[in-house]
Structure 1
Amino acid sequence: MERVGLAIIGCGSASPAVSLDNDGLSQVVETSDEWIATRTGIRRRCLADPGYSLAQLGAAAAAKALEMAGVAPEEVDLILLATSTPDDLFGTASVIQARLGATRAVSFDLTAACSGFVFGLVTAAQFIRTGVYRNVVLIGGDILSRWVDWSDRRTCVLFGDGAGAVVIQADPIDRLLGFELHSDGSQNACLNLAYQGESKVLTPDVTIAQGGYRPITMNGQEVYKFAVRKVPEVMEKTFFHAGLDAAEIDWVVMHQANQRILDAVADRLSIPREKVISNLAKYGNTSAASIPLALDEAVRDGRIQPGNKIAMSGFGAGLTWGAAVVQWGK
């Protein structure tokens, strides 16, 4: 089968209408705008109300991406949803497929937490490069407000809800210039959203566990040290794979976890901070949604132009981390 390339030809994003700023959050937990902003760079976050679903968010973002790309839903071959917070543990991608009317698309969820969008991009590339599919919709979306302990000011100040999407299309020229992915399960305890069950005796000889998921727990210091060490390293390896120097990168779109991390990575790579796109002040940490949310804003406001080389990097729970360099558009 002839090998083909790919191009990202459209993007879109969506976020809940309800917003909670730091002053409002100080009514929920002992904190302040100054405490949060100086440590994280976050000023507010969007939060889904009880009737709002991830499928709604993801479908809205995907519809905007398809509109920009000029691709009809019926032309979509594959829908990938990168998420850690599905509406249904059996999967939410197929619900998005139905909402879009993408009747011929196969759909499935992919979980790699805050690295999910980058992992999803590389996954989509394999289907396109082997000639199996032509049009792929990749969505990164999470509703983390469902799983935050709102009495824990170390974590509840960080997270918000949102979704972002891109349309990836087969093309004679391959615009995924390089990538590198990693996982380290030995550090899983640093950041998790773990199942917690209680024993239930079915018969005298058979006992199972039933329960649910406890709120997000995080060792912030360890996650910070991991990010500022591993992200520059994985980005440098990706630049090497792409045959590029850091100076040739037009924009950097990293997972929007903490402004201090974004600044530290830029400094270690000698990339000017003004090349690093940041919108976490408005949205907080939206996990798998953060990269496509930031990408969509930068495309729509004219910062990212066709032909620009964009370095993306995701990092987080798992622990997982990865990077990719793409050239925007055709």
Structure 2
Amino acid sequence: MTPSACYITGAASYLPGDPVENDAIQRFLGVLAGEDDVRSRVLAMNGIRRRFYAQDAQQRATHDVYGIGAEAVARLAALAPCGAATFLSGGTTFAPLAAPGFASILHARLSERGLLCGPAEISSNAGICSSAATALVGAMRAVASGQHRVALCVGAEHASEVLKSTAIRPVDDRDQHANVRNSRWFMSVFLRFMLSDGAGAMLLEDRPRPGGISLRVDWTHSRSFAHEAPLCMTLESRTALLSQDVSILSRHLFPAADAFLEDAFARHDDSVGAHSLVLPHMSSFFFRRKMERVIAKQCPDPRNPTPYWTNLATAGNTGAASIFVMLDEYLREGTIAPGDRLLLFVPESGQFNFVLISLTAVAS
């Protein structure tokens, strides 16, 4: 196949239900004994003001993760025809079925809705926050290689399904720790006030879409640092118990991020400073200052770093879907112009995997 270019020619997202403010979280997720102090501390720390859940106040799901993903594609189809895609990739943290893969069932759901009715090559990506970004890199490379002219990529999360009080069964070892933050109980319970539901979809083509702005893929970079860091965030297959060790996170995330970015820009002869804006996946505003230092460190003038943009406060932390949800909202604001360069940065704390995607806005 003749290599070609790859462009993001469409983006859309879906956040289910009505916005849920902080004081209404437990109305949807229920209440666990002893969690109120955790709730107040975590919400004060993370800076999230609202989020969305694909379930009602009786903890009955309104969608599953495949349905959330299909809703995002339906919104994309209203903007750009995606039925011609011959490559479908997707990523999520939790799916109710371990197999078939996420993309396989999503393909069937899209067919049922008349959104992607033909045969397609598929790629299902598992993981934590970088699973969908890894799926996106794969789709971009499939188009850039010339093997496919049109590809569709979807990131979706249904965190409420494993975090609601009728499903979660945290190990209660609080009496074994002087500091509750060191307990396995805390490592699962605090995530109830961190994560929420949502999905996004991107259309990729080998040429820009006529009459508008497309995003040319300049380069992608993805690296795992699992060889030098312990497990930090896990989702157990048997129990569907999600947990994160925040002490491992604080020790390993930012040193690994520094090494990753230095490697990425050296390999691609580029820099953060050559970009107009960074869109970073952040789980919490608690990490804002550290993220700013990481970005500034890679800029020619650290005193005047490349700005960054996030919708974490108002869209919530949608995990693997967040970079899709973020890019869609940013593009809809209409502030992007030809020549602008965007940098998508997705760090994952599962066992420290990172994805970086460099884009340039072009008009046709």
| Counterpart for residue 163 of structure 1 | 199
Structure 1 residue 52: deviation in Å? 1.0
The CA distance in 2 between the partners of 1:328 and 1:226, in whole Å, is 34
Between 1:2-11 and 1:146-155, the stretch displaced more is 146-155
* Alpha-carbon distance change, 35 to 273 in structure 1, aligned in 2, over 3 angstroms: farther
Q: 2:88–2:103: 8 Å Cα contact kept in structure 1?
A: yes
Structure 1 residue 34: deviation in Å? 6.0
* Alpha-carbon distance change, 240 to 176 in structure 1, aligned in 2, over 3 angstroms: farther
Structure 1 residue 41: deviation in Å? 1.6
* Alpha-carbon distance change, 72 to 215 in structure 1, aligned in 2, over 3 angstroms: closer
Letter of the 1:61 partner, please give it: A
Q: Name the % identity.
A: 21
Between 1:141-150 and 1:268-277, the stretch displaced more is 268-277
Structure with bigger strand share is 1
TM-score, normalised with respect to structure 2: 0.77
* Alpha-carbon distance change, 283 to 215 in structure 1, aligned in 2, over 3 angstroms: farther
Q: 1:231–1:265: 8 Å Cα contact kept in structure 2?
A: no
| Counterpart for residue 332 of structure 2 | 300
Given candidates 268, 272, 282, the residue that maps to 1:246 is: 272
Matched, 1:94 2:104: yes
Given candidates 273, 281, 298, the residue that maps to 2:313 is: 281
5 Å-filtered alignment, 1:66-85, equals 66-68=77-79, 70-73=80-83, 75-85=84-94
| Counterpart for residue 358 of structure 2 | 325
| Counterpart for residue 204 of structure 1 | none
- Aligned-pair RMSD on alpha carbons? 2.7
| Counterpart for residue 183 of structure 2 | none
Q: 1:177–1:242: 8 Å Cα contact kept in structure 2?
A: no
Given candidates 210, 214, 236, the residue that maps to 1:194 is: 236
TM-score, normalised with respect to structure 1: 0.84
| Counterpart for residue 63 of structure 2 | 52
Residue deviations 1:7-60 (CA, integer Å, cap 9, x gap): 111100001114432222367330488633441121222111113111221112
5 Å-filtered alignment, 1:1-330, equals 1-25=1-25, 28=31, 29-31=35-37, 35-49=41-55, 50-68=61-79, 70-73=80-83, 75-89=84-98, 90-97=100-107, 98=111, 99=113, 100-148=115-163, 152=186, 153-171=189-207, 175-185=216-226, 187=229, 189-195=231-237, 212-270=238-296, 275-316=307-348, 317-330=350-363
The CA distance in 2 between the partners of 1:42 and 1:116, in whole Å, is 22
Q: 2:273–2:305: 8 Å Cα contact kept in structure 1?
A: no
Runs of 5+ consecutive residues of structure 2 not aligned to the other structure: 56-60, 171-185, 209-213
The CA distance in 1 between the partners of 2:204 and 2:331, in whole Å, is 15
